[in-house]
Amino acid sequence: MKLRSAWLTLLVLGLTLVAVPAMAQVLYNNGPVNGTTDAWTINFGFVVSDTFPISSDSTTITGAEFAMWLVEGDTLESAQLSITSGENGGTSYFNQTVSFTQSGCSANQYEYDVCNESTVFEATLNTGTYWLNLQNGSVPSGDPVYWDQNFGGPTNHAWPQPLASENSVGTIPSESFTLMGFSSFPGKNGSPQSSTPEPSSILVLGSGILGVAAAWRLKIRR
């Protein structure tokens, strides 16, 4: 009975592990929110672009967070988000209108609400440097939407200094944003990328546990 109970426990554990999905973590953080210096328009035909690095092949971005300046009372509903090989151009790896969830708003000295805007999407990228572009921001009032300028740069000094631009003026200081997701492989140079295993890897782990249990049972019975 004890042997059967132990085997059933291992069976349940293995099946539980199979069901566990890969968890999203911070892939890249472009520095803290500033909220008091300046911000750049992402609607009315303006496009703001920032670079970000990916240090492992088969890295999947699952969402992002941005700091936005809004006219008091406005809510950012959507914006066009693209990931490209060049500054708002080149090869396109993702280009869709995404919706946002707004939280943590606080008024700054210019009487704008500085809000955290989070969105969910999926794009799988290999090692390299990419451009993240925002445009066509939409609020019910039709007011301007501004992306917070933070002069930032990544908190991890292993990353290269980021570049940023606005389509009407050219080079500008960088903006505040965070990318979420997971990587199938550990990041390089001490990067914060997750090495969370894919569900298929966990399936192998679960199968291994069950295999050990079966072998143990056969050994005892001999």
Average pLDDT, the chain: 80
Mean pLDDT of 64-93: 97
Q: Is residue 17 part of a domain?
A: no
Instruction: Quick: pLDDT tens for 167-202.
Output: 999 999 999 999 999 987 654 433 444 444 434 433
Q: How many domains does the chain have?
A: 1
Lowest mean pLDDT among 15-24, 27-36, 193-202: 193-202
Please report which residue ranges of 36-133 form alpha helices under DSSP H.
none
| Residue 100 in domain | yes
Query: C-alpha distances in angstroms, 94 versus 77, 88, 132, 139, 158?
Result: 19, 12, 9, 22, 26
Question: Would 222 be classed as within a structural domain?
Answer: no
Residue 219, pLDDT score: 36
8 within some domain: no
pLDDT per position as a tens digit, 36-53: 999 999 999 999 999 999
pLDDT on residue 161: 82
Which of 12-26, 45-59, 108-122, 135-149 is least confident?
12-26
Asked, for residue 2, whether it belongs to a domain, the answer is no
Domain assignment of residue 186, given as a range: 22-196
